[in-house]
Amino acid sequence: MSLFDSIVITGGRGMLARAIADSLNARNRKAVALDRAAIDITSEADVSRLFAEHRPTLLINCAAHTKVDLCEDEQEKADAINGHAVGLLADAARKHGTFLVHYSTDFVFNGAGTRPYRTHDSVGPLSAYGRSKLLGEQKLQASAPSQWLILRTSWLYGRGGASFPRTIVERGRQGAPLKVVSDQVGSPTYTPDLAEATLDLIERGKTGVWHVCNFGQTSWFDFARAALEEFSVPASVAPISTIDWVAMRPKQALRPAYSVMDLEPFARATGRPMRPWRDALRDFRLAVDRDGWSS
């Protein structure tokens, strides 16, 4: 039996799931994408039914509660989806011999670092979202299947969903005033690039925890300016500090000031580096110009 005989993607309507399905199609592989209506990953009965009906050899979990600020008010829900549900999937995957892929985040770190984070660095999430994603990592590893991947990524965007560059471009076109935090640094990641990287790791039989994002680092402020420039939107954007931003929006979740991650292990494992974030942003603009914001 091949690893790719029966591929299931949870969170099937999300932008990452769509990008993964597209990448699989390009490699002549098909997947069953299941949305929230088809599978509630927080339900043990639903998870059991998923494995009974589809018998996945490869399960790629893209289901997540990703609204970072909302997670502060919905901590129990965030823990259920991003944390405990991952344990259910891992336990079922272990029993059925399924390769399980799960996505985590740079938000598991506290942002006090001064060099790119390595996979074994100490964690210390600042937000409910980050804590829930760390819980998912811990639940997976506690019930680890024989083959599993955790891919930590950052600042994800792409077609088919809400994203930071889309918000900036649309608000800029509407003439809305733009203020963007300038003292948080990380690496934007384009969903098709993360999808390709995921399949590259799977095909090479890699397991464990990996950091995968586009190469290079920027601030949210410079990311916003790059998006406006790329989409030729003649809007101005003003920098604002995290302290001032939180003062304006006190219910904001705390975010790491520095969340750049070490990509050298990925480059060594696959024989190719992740491409620069600015090049990926240009491809995103070309895709939007061609097909619109949604898939």
Positions marked catalytic: 129
Query: What is the distance between the alpha carbons of residues 90 and 108, in angstroms, rounded to a whole number?
Result: 20
> What are the phi and psi torsion angles at 58 (to 5°)?
-140, 125
Query: What is the distance between the alpha carbons of residues 119 and 265, in angstroms, rounded to a whole number?
Result: 9
Q: Specify whether the backbone of 232 is left (phi greater than 0), alpha (psi in -120 to 50) or beta.
A: left
Query: What is the distance between the alpha carbons of residues 245 and 80, in angstroms, rounded to a whole number?
Result: 29
Which one, of 82, 34, 83, lies nearest residue 60 by Cα?
Answer: 34
Query: What is the distance between the alpha carbons of residues 152 and 134, in angstroms, rounded to a whole number?
Result: 10
Find out whether 186 and 176 touch, Cβ atoms under 8 Å: no
Q: Which helix (H) or strand (E) holds 139?
A: helix 128-142
One-letter amino acid identity for 291? D
